Amino acid sequence: MKLFTRAERFATPLLLQIVAEAARMKSSKTYPELQGKILGNVFFNPSLRTKLSFETAMLRSGGTALSISPGGGTWSFEGKFGVRMDQDRPEHLKEAVRVMSRYVDALGARSFAGLQSAEEDAGEQILSAFEEYATVPVISLESALEHPCQMVADMLTIEEILGDRTLSNQRDLPRENQYRGRNFCLRWAPHIKPLPLAVPHSSILAAAHLGMNITVAAPDGYELDERYVQQAREIACSNGGSYSEDHEPDALPENTEILSVKSWGARSLYGKQAQQAEELRKLSPWMVRESIYQKNTHLLHCLPVRRNVVITDKALDHPRSKIIDQAENRLWGQLAVLQWLFEQETRD
């Protein structure tokens, strides 16, 4: 049974192969053969891009995607074990996941972090239930700590932005070396409420697999999960890049070619709503403005984005803002992931 759920399962060569396949499908406008396949997606949280791009991907490939939102026309699911189910969740994931596996050919699950307890979020309770009980392949549609499909789309987008110029200058350079040592900055930005760490983790892993020099710029106290920092550092270094951190709102490393912006919450403030709101107000100078662009800087954001809270209108609408291409690449990246997932399944 195949899982596209956690980055630690994927080595750089496999991810580069998936991204190359996504680029090939995008340029040739071709789709995998998924005739008759059904993907069942379970959204515990809202989505635009992930939902629509998976449904489109399956339809374009001859298959179907069915999406449900537990509690919205479907039973609410309990994910905790050993509890007395006398509250408002009448069905346990232990049954639900096994039942759904009897109907569809693969399952997707979106389950955000609760942001109340770092330990609870690290347990990835819902994703783990899908991994354990599904009898068909599983794709993460974003879990508490990771968004692997966003990682693939980000890799494809970075390759598109940086690849052509490198190729025209250095034609003999192997594809996987074109991004090595080029500067990537993941920059924290303010928001009206704390957000999960999944996208920031996947964002630094995308840059790490491309061997880029990664800088994470965030206020003190807004550290990422150490396991993901360690993973990104090791992967970046083994691919010829580096990893460092910065805490200044105006600092962008010289010659930053990719600026990935994201808001996330401070784990020390989980569950402390009043303190969080006050802190987020104080950090408004971190809002990303047009002036942050350097000569070769390109802006990424996974979307949705709150204009003039996270990033100003002018910065979002800048000619080197690539947020719409990045969102489109969710479709192509996922087509390649689906092809890999179903191909692998039939070979085993």
Contact 155, 15 (CB under 8 A): yes
Applying CB under 6 A, the residues found at the interface with ligand CP are 47-50, 142, 150, 302-304
Query: Which residues have CB under 8 Å from 147's CB, separation 6+?
Result: 140, 198, 199, 201, 202, 302
Residue number with CB closer to ligand CP (49 or 92): 49
Burial 203-235 (b: 16+ CB within 10 A, else e): bbbbbbbbbbbbbbbbbeebbbbeebbebbbeb
Least distance to ligand CP, CB of residue 182, Å: 23
Least distance to ligand CP, CB of residue 47, Å: 3
Residue number with CB closer to ligand CP (153 or 243): 153
- DSSP class of residue 175 equals G
d(CA 157, CA 100): 33
Query: Which is nearest to 98 in space by CA: 40, 158, 55, 17?
Result: 40
Least distance to ligand CP, CB of residue 216, Å: 19
Residue number with CB closer to ligand CP (90 or 304): 304
Contact 180, 209 (CB under 8 A): no
Residue number with CB closer to ligand CP (183 or 203): 203
Residue number with CB closer to ligand CP (151 or 216): 151
Region for 115 from its dihedrals, namely left if φ exceeds 0, alpha if ψ lies in -120 to 50, beta otherwise: left
Cα–Cα distances (Å) from 197 to 116, 141, 200, 240, in that order, read: 13, 14, 6, 25
Angle at 293 between CA 290 and CA 295, to 5 degrees: 140
Least distance to ligand CP, CB of residue 315, Å: 18
Query: Which is nearest to 225 in space by CA: 3, 1, 7, 5?
Result: 7
Least distance to ligand CP, CB of residue 202, Å: 10
Residue number with CB closer to ligand CP (142 or 159): 142
Phi, psi of 213, deg, nearest 5: -85, 110
Least distance to ligand CP, CB of residue 191, Å: 14
Contact 179, 211 (CB under 8 A): yes
Least distance to ligand CP, CB of residue 43, Å: 9
Residue number with CB closer to ligand CP (68 or 303): 303
Least distance to ligand CP, CB of residue 157, Å: 12
Least distance to ligand CP, CB of residue 328, Å: 12
Residue number with CB closer to ligand CP (150 or 321): 150
Which secondary structure element, helix H or strand E, spans residue 244, and what is its range?
A: strand 242-246
Residue number with CB closer to ligand CP (47 or 76): 47
d(CA 60, CA 52): 12
Query: Which residues have CB under 8 Å from 244's CB, separation 6+?
Result: 213, 214, 215, 216
- Residue 252: helix, strand or coil by DSSP? coil
